[in-house]
Chains A and B, each alone.
Chain A
Amino acid sequence: MIYLDLLVGFLKVGCFAFGGAYAAIPLIRDVVLSYGWLTDEQLSYMIAVSESTPGPVMINLATYVGSSQGGVLGALLATLAVAFPAFVIIWLVLVLLRSFLEKKPVQAVLGAVKPCVIGIILATGLSMAFSSVCSREAGFAVDVKAAIVAGIVAAAVIVWRILKKKKASPIALIIVSACLGMLVYGI
């Protein structure tokens, strides 16, 4: 049943998304691809919309996936499910386990989970970027137009990092790639 799947799927995301929105993206990708709810392409559109609208990105994605699969009830369930674990955990930390997070074994577990999450985020970004340039479906043939867009955007990000010493604003990056898309694919 779709409602139950949405609830369980997004509870899982809420329980394992250590480190905010970007940590949730690979988990949401796992869920939507394994249930066949969305393709990688549709997911990337949703990420762009979530980044360009206000509010927590994870909540935006949950609402979006929920609404596309199960209307308003689906959206409600997915949104509440993704927020629920965070709510309960903060409540527990405040009431019962103030010192729990400072315990050595807990620190050791978190110390290993964090680099793992960063690794998963890097791999997800790389495979999303590469899949548009040379996808498995296209027999790994290189899409020249996509390669041009990817090259320009990557160069812009690197130059921005060197000049400004910080990461580019997500909205600016999305606007730049949208313009490039209109230009390169429109011609």
Chain B
Amino acid sequence: MPILLDLFLTFAKIGAFTFGGGYAMISVIDTICVEKKKWITHDEMMDVTVIAESTPGPISVNCATFVGFKQAGWLGGVLATLGVILPSFAVIYIISMFLDNFLEIAIIANAFKGIKIGVGILIVDAGITMLQKMKKSALSVTVLACSVAVMLLADIFAWNFSSISLMLIAAAVGLVSCLVGKKAGGGK
């Protein structure tokens, strides 16, 4: 099979059968692309995981772009990325056409009332897992506490404050602390 077609189909398969988002996908991509197809080495896979975590966007798209690009240049990157996106696009597009009718059925509507509460708790649970893995320092704990407080206050009082502005403030704090730290270090 030509490599471009192989890239597209392999990533379409990964996109179609992996539940649970980015981190679940990393292990599947590892099995297929490192062990079976030998498209990238294990070290490169570790590399791309670190890069994916420090750059924005869907982690699976980061990985697909990386593997595709390594194998077949930018066209490989495009095809692998489209492959990983396509199955979810098709599935969700079809569901989105029917969900509203579906919700008119009383028992389904009740189920979704329960799901609404569950989703909130699910997100808190994911946040706690990330919190446990976070490198803890005075700065990171302060930034975290302030972020939670600001976002909750904004929600309670219906302030118009976007999470992007909060992230930009945090980025500025990080940069300033680095520059100040450098200066203090130089003075020793």
Query: Which residues of A does B touch, CB under 8 Å?
Result: 12, 14-22, 24-27, 30, 34, 41, 44-45, 47-60, 63-64, 67-68, 72, 75-76, 79, 82-83, 85-87, 89-91, 93-94, 101, 104-105, 107-133, 136, 146, 149-150, 153-154, 157, 161, 166-171, 173-174, 176-182, 184-186
Q: Is the CB of A20 within 8 A of B21?
A: yes
Rounded to whole angstroms, the CA-CA distance of A87 and B58 in the bound complex is: 9
Question: Are A22 and B130 CB-contacts (below 8 A) given A90-B51, A186-B107?
Answer: yes
Instruction: Judge whether B184 is part of the interface by a CB distance below 8 angstroms.
Output: no
Pick the interface stretch among B2-10, B31-39, B171-179: B171-179
The distance from the CB of A88 to the nearest CB of chain B, in whole angstroms, is: 9
Contact B177 A157 (CB under 8 A): no
User: Are A122 and B124 CB-contacts (below 8 A) given A56-B15, A105-B178, A133-B117?
Assistant: yes
Cβ-closest chain A residue relative to B65: A90
Q: Is the CB of A122 within 8 A of B65?
A: no
- CB A62 to nearest CB in B, in angstroms, measures 9
- Chain A CB count within 10 A is highest, among B74, B84, B113, B178, for B113
User: Could you jot down 17 A-B contacts, CB within 8 Å?
Assistant: A53-B95, A54-B19, A55-B18, A55-B85, A55-B91, A60-B88, A64-B95, A83-B61, A86-B55, A91-B74, A93-B51, A115-B141, A120-B167, A127-B120, A129-B117, A149-B118, A185-B113
Q: For the complex, what is the distance from the CA of A172 to the CA of B184, rounded to whole Å?
A: 51
Cα distance A87–B121 in the bound complex, in angstroms: 31
Contact A112 B115 (CB under 8 A): no
B interface majority secondary structure: helix
From A12, A83, A125, A186, contact of B121 by CB (8 A):
A125
Interface size on B, residues (CB 8 A): 103
Residue of A nearest to B170 (CB): A116
- Taking Cβ atoms with an 8 Å cutoff, the residues of B that contact A are 15-23, 25, 48, 50-62, 65-66, 69-70, 74, 77-78, 81, 84-85, 87-89, 91-93, 95-97, 99, 103, 106-107, 110-131, 134-135, 137, 139-141, 143-148, 150-152, 155-156, 158, 160, 162-164, 166-167, 169-171, 173-175, 177-179, 182
Interface centre among A90, A114, A154 (most CB of B within 10 A): A90
Separation of A10 and B185 alpha carbons in the complex (Å): 41
Q: Say whether, besides A60-B92, A121-B123, A108 and B175 are in contact (CB < 8 Å).
A: yes
Q: Are A129 and B115 in contact (CB under 8 A)?
A: no
CA distance A127 to B158 in the complex (A): 12
